[in-house]
Amino acid sequence: MFETSENIILYFVLFSTITLLLLCSLVLLIISRFSKRKLQFQNEMLVIKAQHEQDLLMAQLQVQENTFSWIASEIHDNVGQKLSLAKLQLNNIFIKEYNGQHQTLGDSIQIITETLDDLRDLTRSTSNEKIQQDGFLGLLKTDIERLNRSGSFHFKLVVTGEEYFLEAKFELMIYRIIQEVLNNIIKHSQATEVNFHLHYTTDKLKIEVEDNGKGFDEQEITRGNGLSNIQKRAIHIGGVANIKSEKNKGTIVNINIPIYGNQKI
């Protein structure tokens, strides 16, 4: 009788232990599945957020490209034609040379000629068609020539490695990044010397821009400003942009863009 009671107690303890272990296993399984689903949900939300940011950036870029195209068309159709007409009329007056005013008229014609050249350069930089013809490097050279003519800056461009063309959309994105760099230099840097270095390799395009401007505190790079836009655009095409600066010591922008075989043409 005593042994039977012991057996019952032993079976009860064993049953209770097994039941407890099964319950613990079930709880752990539920927690594990919950954690996995939670992690999966978080990852999905991150993907959705990243995709949303990509879509938003693409929409912004599309609006910008449409705006640039409209500006280029307006400059060509309106401002450019009016200046060309004014130049033609002044040329007619200049030929007559009356009242000894030919020198003043000649100066005016020269100013209009230079303005027309600048407008043509500007429309080239805002036209997507020019990207397909000249690539970002051709447009960059035009921009540098125009900025050097202004007398406010001295730009130097050095290109190393074997140059190649990319698909138009990549050429355009790289050019817009460079435009953002130029815009920040012109508006904020107070620089007089700017060195551009482009280095082509088989799998990467390296861009370095160094100026001798006033520099800034790197903590000033905030969401929405031009410096942040440079970094976001570089990320959009799989690259990375690093910006180094100190107050009164200028700024260096390094952009590394990986090049895949299907991007080359």
CA 55 vs CA 47, 50, 170: distances in Å: 12, 9, 17
- The reported pLDDT for the residue numbered 157 is 95
Given a cut of 70, whether residue 4 has pLDDT beyond it is: no
pLDDT in tens, 201-223: 999 999 999 999 999 887 766 54
Tokens of 65: 């490209």
More confident residue, 227 or 76: 227
pLDDT in tens, 227-255: 788 888 888 888 999 999 988 889 999 99
- Strands, sheet with 204-211, edge to edge from the N-terminal-most edge strand: 154-160, 193-200, 204-211, 251-258, 240-245
Percentage of the chain exceeding pLDDT 70: 62
- pTM to 2 decimals? 0.59
More confident residue, 50 or 104: 50
Q: Quickly state the pLDDT bin for 109 (edges 50, 70, 90).
A: low
> What does CATH list as the number for 135-265?
3.30.565.10
Q: Could you give the CA distance from residue 145 to residue 147 in angstroms, rounded to a whole number?
A: 6
Residue 68 class from Cβ within 10 Å (0-12 exposed, 13-18 middle, 19+ buried)?
A: middle
Domain ranges of the chain: 135-265
The string over 142-166, giving b where at least 16 C-beta atoms fall within 10 Å of a residue's C-beta and e elsewhere, is bbbebbeeeeebebebeeeeeeebb
* Residues facing residue 247 across a β-bridge: none
Of 59-73, 185-199, 215-229, which has the strongest mean pLDDT? 185-199
